[in-house]
């Protein structure tokens, strides 16, 4: 049975538990790196079921021009229950007032975000720490 609790602060967040969530969804992310990333993000969203962390996301924002939603993750056994959709919707609502809201998605997840109103950008570009791995994973085009 779902007993969801939504939290928008870092109060009592276990960085170990968050790291374990990402390990099964988005890959290995160190606890210290997650603490830095979430602390430096204007908006964050955590979802618990019976005190177990099952979903998270964050948005880097400057308060006026741009809010960038990233690191949205839901435990595989809780996917398909609109939790990810609600994390994104909450981060979008928190970002209202910014001139643009940008979302960074894993390859193949674009249809999910398109249903939430996001459109593909034609001008986005990136430099990754590991460019060849980003190309291999489908995050970057070599052209």
pLDDT digits (tens, 9 = 90+) for 34-59: 999 999 999 999 999 999 999 999 99
What's the pLDDT tens digit per position in 65-107? Answer: 999 999 999 999 999 999 999 999 999 999 999 999 999 888 8
- Please count the helices (runs of H) and the strands (runs of E) in the chain: 5, 5
The burial class, CB within 10 Å (0-12 / 13-18 / 19+), for 123 is exposed
Q: Considering the domain boundaries, does residue 54 fall inside one?
A: yes
Assign 3-state DSSP to the chain and report helix, strand, coil percentages, each to 5.
30, 25, 45
Q: Considering the domain boundaries, does residue 75 fall inside one?
A: yes
The CATH number for 88's domain is: 3.40.630.30
Average pLDDT across the chain, whole number: 94
Q: Considering the domain boundaries, does residue 111 fall inside one?
A: no
Provide the domain count of the chain: 1
Asked if pLDDT for residue 138 goes beyond 80, the answer is yes
Q: Considering the domain boundaries, does residue 143 fall inside one?
A: no
Domain that holds residue 58: 4-104
């Amino acid at each position: 049975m779902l007993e969801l609790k939504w939290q928008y602060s870092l109060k009592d967040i276990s960085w170990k538990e968050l790291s374990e969530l990402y390990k099964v969804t988005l890959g290995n992310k160190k606890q210290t790196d997650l603490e830095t990333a979430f602390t430096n993000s204007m908006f964050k969203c955590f979802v618990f079921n019976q005190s177990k962390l099952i979903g998270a996301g964050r948005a880097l924002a400057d308060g006026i021009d741009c809010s960038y939603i990233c690191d949205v993750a839901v435990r595989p056994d809780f996917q398909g229950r609109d939790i990810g959709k609600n994390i994104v919707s909450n981060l979008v609502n928190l970002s209202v007032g910014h001139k643009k809201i940008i979302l960074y998605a894993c390859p193949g997840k674009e249809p999910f975000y398109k249903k939430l109103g996001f459109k593909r950008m034609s001008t986005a570009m990136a430099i990754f720490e590991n460019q060849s791995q980003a190309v291999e994973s489908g995050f970057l085009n070599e052209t």
